[in-house]
């Protein structure tokens, strides 16, 4: 049962909702890389947050913090994108190899104008990949680089020959080639990656991609830099003009409470109107994915090209008193609800959405983890990711939500309950439920076709306040609690608290 008392939570009368799952009509597999993450050279996202160097007093392995690595391993992170983001298009890979004390110091012009000493480069990144047991998504520099530079980096990482670049990698300490699972040709070419038009980028993409060569069996999936928000033109142009050898087209969408970049809204201390607008804004991604997939279905009916949401998450005004270029924000129960809503949407389009990367892993935007010197805490978003682990590589099952009581505000409405279901690799049926309402709980009647449901068990993540979050003084203020419910008279009703995320295993 719930470890916390539902009576202690602000909840009005329970609304009646029906959620039906059909196990007899399995759908596509939910690619585990939908739960990928992003680590950019930005603020303390890598330096201090994850990388402290091998000589640090903070316990580490090859320079990477043991506490952070351990926590991320528990999430079973399937994929990490690096080195950017905007930073990728000013990153020159040769600056990050060889003896660290001899690497050039540059200026991170995108993020805070701070010194970038290149202590974390190719070898260090792959140390992290191997420590996490994850896959690598490397983003190449198209904006300020050359086709030769990009091609040589890929050769440096993947070649098993006696070429000079492969020998240089060996000289720098890595005998065997690295495995690059995904390789991106530029980032946000419409903006910080070069302010290009899609037709111009498509020509450049084809040019650069021509020279990306690897040994047989070592070629990564190649990713084209696509559009953002409501723009489908990038998907259209790229799927027509840059489709040869393209495995995926990227797409970026950030959730802003106000929808206005200059005044996004606060991460904490916000009114209910901004809770509602945040939910409303994040749900817009559903229609945007649908529109882009319609374009892909027209241009790529064989479904060879994936739609990769390789940057997404909440973006608020930075925490007062912090460097505006470091993008540090608090992470509350609202962020966990946003994350779960996005998971449910990604599952719905699993046939095309084969990879996503939340921004970001540590200390930046919608982070999993926050650190301060030797201290570390887990955010509500971290807990949402951990609860959804059973959906990695699970088989999607159809879900219908009926009799839902919408959450409305100022004449606008969003669904009150969001649901998704899948059959996990362990054979169990899993159901996730999200209550978007901040004060109203719901009764959910669960029906599973093809299965005589006897009970459910799993976890629930909720809190009393809309901006409840973990601090170093109270690092476990927001955390999952166990939950279970049994069928009565052949019916199973689940009481879903307000502003809650639930992931449950169904048992006969």
User: 3-state DSSP call for residue 245?
Assistant: coil
The whole-angstrom separation of Cα 29 and Cα 392 is: 9
b/e map of 425-454 (b: 16 or more CB within 10 Å)?
eeeebbbbbbbbbbebbbebebebeeeebe
pLDDT value, residue 57: 97
CATH 3.20.20.80 spans which residues of the chain? 30-393
> ∠289-290-293 over CA atoms, to 5°?
85
The whole-angstrom separation of Cα 189 and Cα 409 is: 37
Phi, psi angles (nearest 5°) of residue 228:
-150, 165
CA-closest candidate to residue 355, choices 344, 346, 364:
346
pLDDT value, residue 16: 82
pLDDT value, residue 394: 98
**CATH architecture for segment(s) 30-393:** Alpha-Beta Barrel (3.20)
For the annotated catalytic residues, the residue numbers are 188, 311
Give the pLDDT of the chain (508 residues) as one tens digit per residue: 333 333 333 444 445 899 999 999 999 999 999 999 999 999 999 999 999 999 999 999 999 999 999 999 999 999 999 999 999 999 999 999 999 999 999 999 999 999 999 999 999 999 999 999 999 999 999 999 999 999 999 999 999 999 999 999 999 999 999 999 999 999 999 999 999 999 999 999 999 999 999 999 999 999 999 999 999 999 999 999 998 889 999 999 999 999 999 999 999 999 999 999 999 999 999 999 999 999 999 999 999 999 999 999 999 999 999 999 999 999 999 999 999 999 999 999 999 999 999 999 999 999 999 999 999 999 999 999 999 999 999 999 999 999 988 999 989 999 999 999 999 999 999 999 999 999 999 999 999 998 888 999 999 999 999 999 999 999 999 999 999 999 987 789 999 999 999 999 999 8
φ/ψ region of 392 (left if φ > 0, alpha if ψ in -120 to 50, else beta) reads: beta
Q: How many residues does the chain have?
A: 508
Q: Is pTM beyond 0.85 here?
A: yes
pLDDT value, residue 244: 84
Which tokens in the block code for residue 228?
């953002």
pLDDT value, residue 6: 37
The whole-angstrom separation of Cα 327 and Cα 339 is: 18
pLDDT value, residue 8: 39
Q: Say which residues have a Cβ less than 8 Å from residue 41's Cβ, sequence separation at least 6.
A: 47, 83, 84, 85, 87, 91, 108, 111, 116, 120
What would the DSSP string read from start to end of 158-220? H--S--HHHHHHHHTT--SPPP-SEEEE-S-TTTTTT---HHHHHHHHHHHHHT---STT-PP
**CATH architecture for segment(s) 17-21+398-507:** Sandwich (2.60)
CATH 2.60.40.1180 spans which residues of the chain? 17-21+398-507
């Amino acid at each position: 049962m719930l470890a916390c008392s539902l009576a202690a939570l602000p909840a009005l009368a329970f609304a009646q909702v029906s959620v039906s799952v059909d196990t007899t009509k399995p759908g596509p597999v939910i690619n585990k890389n939908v739960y990928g993450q992003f680590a950019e050279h930005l603020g303390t996202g890598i330096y201090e947050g994850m990388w402290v160097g091998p000589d640090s007093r903070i316990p580490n392995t090859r320079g990477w913090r043991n506490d952070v690595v351990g926590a991320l391993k528990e999430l079973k992170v399937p994929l990490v994108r690096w080195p950017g983001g905007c930073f990728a298009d000013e990153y020159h890979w040769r600056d990050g190899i060889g003896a660290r004390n001899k690497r050039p110091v540059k200026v991170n012009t995108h993020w805070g104008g701070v010194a970038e000493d290149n202590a974390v480069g190719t070898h260090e990144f792959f140390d992290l990949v191997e420590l996490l047991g994850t896959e690598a998504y490397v983003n190449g520099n198209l904006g300020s680089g050359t086709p030769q530079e990009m091609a040589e980096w890929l050769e440096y990482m993947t070649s098993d020959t006696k070429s000079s670049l492969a020998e240089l990698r060996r000289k720098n300490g890595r005998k065997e080639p690295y495995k690059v699972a995904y390789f991106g040709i530029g980032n946000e070419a419409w903006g910080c990656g070069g302010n290009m038009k899609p037709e111009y980028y498509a020509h450049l993409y084809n040019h650069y991609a021509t020279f990306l060569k690897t040994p047989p069996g070592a070629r990564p999936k190649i990713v084209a830099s696509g559009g953002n928000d409501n723009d489908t033109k990038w998907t259209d142009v790229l799927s027509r003009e840059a489709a040869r050898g393209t495995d995926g087209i990227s797409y970026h969408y950030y959730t802003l409470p106000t929808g206005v970049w200059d005044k996004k809204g606060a991460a904490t201390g916000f009114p209910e109107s901004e809770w509602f607008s945040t939910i409303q804004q994040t749900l817009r991604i559903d229609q945007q994915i649908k529109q882009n997939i319609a374009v892909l279905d027209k241009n790529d009916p064989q479904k060879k090209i994936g739609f990769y949401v390789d940057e997404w998450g909440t973006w608020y005004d930075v925490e007062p008193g912090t460097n505006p270029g470091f993008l540090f924000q608090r992470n509350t129960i609202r962020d966990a609800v946003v994350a779960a809503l996005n998971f449910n949407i990604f599952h719905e389009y699993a046939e095309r959405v084969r990879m996503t990367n939340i921004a970001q892993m540590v200390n930046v935007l919608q982070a999993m983890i926050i650190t301060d010197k030797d201290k570390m805490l887990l955010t509500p978003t971290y807990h949402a990711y951990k609860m959804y682990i059973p959906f990695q590589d699970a088989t999607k099952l159809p879900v219908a939500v009926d009799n839902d009581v919408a959450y409305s505000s100022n004449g606008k409405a969003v669904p009150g309950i969001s649901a998704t279901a899948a059959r996990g690799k362990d054979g169990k049926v899993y159901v996730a439920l999200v209550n978007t309402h901040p004060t109203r709980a719901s009764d959910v009647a669960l029906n599973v076709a093809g299965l005589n449901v006897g009970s459910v068990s799993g976890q629930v993540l909720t809190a009393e306040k809309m901006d409840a979050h973990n601090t170093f003084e109270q690092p476990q203020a927001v955390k999952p609690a166990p939950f279970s419910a049994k069928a009565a008279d052949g019916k199973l009703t689940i009481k879903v608290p307000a502003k809650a995320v639930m992931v449950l295993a169904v048992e006969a």
